[in-house]
Amino acid sequence: MAPPHATDFAAPLAAEPSLFKVHSPNVEYTDSHITSKYTYSNTRVVKQADGSMLVQPTEQAFEFKTERTVPRVGLMMVGLGGNNGTTLTASIYANKNKITWNTKRGVQEPNYWGSVTQASTVRLGGDDQGNDVYVPLNEMLPMVHPNDLVIGGWDISSLNLGDAMARSQVLEYDLQRQVRDEMAKITPLPSIYYPDFIAANQADRADNLIPGNDKRAHCDQIRKDIREFKAANGLDKVIVVWTANTERYAELIDGVNDTAENFLAAVASSHDEVAPSSIFALACIEEGVPFVNGSPQNTFVPGLIDLAERERAFIGGDDFKSGQTKFKSAIVDFLVNAGIKPVAITSYNHLGNNDGKNLSSHKQFRSKEISKSTVVDDMVAANHLLYKPDEHPDHTVVIKYVPSVGDSKRALDEYECDIFMGGRQSISLYNVCEDSFLASPLIIDLVVLAELMTRIEYKTGDMTKFSKFQSVLSILSYMLKAPMVTRGTPVVNALSRQRSAIENLFRACVGLAPNNEMGLEHKIW
């Protein structure tokens, strides 16, 4: 029997047959694994003293091994009783049970639209007639289905998920009515509350707390919660996602959070600059559980990243990339690649959900402002014809709390661009989006991809055994505003490049070359 803080949507899993099988001497299928031999082609550029560049094509032999059996997976959300947590949980229940509901626009059916893993396709290749053949992204490799997730988690509010769902005012009433009894069975586990890290206006929710002020004890309790949740639900793996309030930035202090040892000592002494989200991340690292930060604060201070790398634990962040920022990362990529120069980007937002209430505090807004403002940096740096080395578009972000609009976030953007011969182009956009309906499918993608990465290993020519990838899961960048990467690796914000990285890694795992758009087969006699 599952504990009251969990909901079990899944029956025991069985491996499903693949939609396709690659016929190649470089690919081997066994009952347990897909193994592929893959040649990674790249280009190395060496800048010469005279300003010229020496360009050298490179090749590296890889072998990938992907475990085929999809495990029984639990998703534990920090902020389970918030808008995202309740919306996602109710939506999975509706999908699992094929619940329909009435609205003024007619009968609605459940779906996973907005999820790149569940609702997008990839070009597999061409058929004998020259037609492109597309398959669902989630058929490229064996992936967990969201209907099979077991849901649990923590919240500073003690409301059961039925009441929390009603408080959030996101889902249509007729749907809430049909799922409320099941949702009411789920009660969040007590969470961590350090008042200095979130806005004071959240204090009235904080009635479900792990007691005391000992941060090491708090971490140990979170670890215990994860172990008990896993055991009680017969899970093979657990993924933890932070979807709670935005915290203020933690101050980076030498001797406190700069190394793994110093960070652990700071936790042991309950230092003031150790944030709640960092405690959850530490608990996951010590338990060997992937942790994804869906808010913009600097959860992963340098010492915590060091620890994750030392323990070979998977982490990912920061901040869900849902509406305005996702569009910005697409349109700026388009403009710069078209030779058009954005010189100013002004973004105004107003929203009325609890996220907006928390962000009305300056320190928490500053965390969001940083994550939203850095999203164009790599695209600007990529075009030295448009931008000088020290040049950058004026970029302003404003967020206001307007309770009456609820979860329906309003985003107004203006892009001021320099164009041909001193001309100017102004692009104005007005985007109305229901925030939790955009963020919830991102959580699905983050969980599905993070879990999959625990089953993929690689080996290069000089390695004697297979190894897991780097601790920082940069493949999650498509879903995150301020993507983390391994130190020394360039950050990629361009949406098209992030999407290609996901698709082409999956293709490599089944021995297929990256997709290209040359279409030479259609250009020759």
The residues carrying an active-site annotation are: 319, 368, 409, 481
Are the CB atoms for 230 and 153 separated by under 8 Å? Answer: no
How far is Cα 369 from Cα 366, in angstroms, rounded to an integer? 5
**How many Cβ atoms sit within 10 Å of the Cβ of residue 347?**
23
Residue 318 one-letter amino acid: D
Are the CB atoms for 67 and 33 separated by under 8 Å? Answer: yes
How far is Cα 351 from Cα 349, in angstroms, rounded to an integer? 7
How far is Cα 448 from Cα 244, in angstroms, rounded to an integer? 20
Cα angle for residues 286, 445, 230 (degrees, 5° grid): 40
Are the CB atoms for 6 and 186 separated by under 8 Å? Answer: yes
Nearest alpha-carbon partner for 368 in 301, 300, 281, 297: 297
How far is Cα 219 from Cα 281, in angstroms, rounded to an integer? 9
Are the CB atoms for 78 and 229 separated by under 8 Å? Answer: no
Q: Quickly tell me which residue has 């999820």 as its tokens.
A: 115
Non-local CB neighbours of 150 within 8 Å, separated by 6+ positions: 2, 6, 7, 8, 9, 10, 72, 73, 74, 75, 233, 235
Take residue 496 and report the two structure tokens written for it.
């098209």
How far is Cα 483 from Cα 326, in angstroms, rounded to an integer? 12
Non-local CB neighbours of 486 within 8 Å, separated by 6+ positions: 470, 471, 472, 474
Residue 400 one-letter amino acid: K
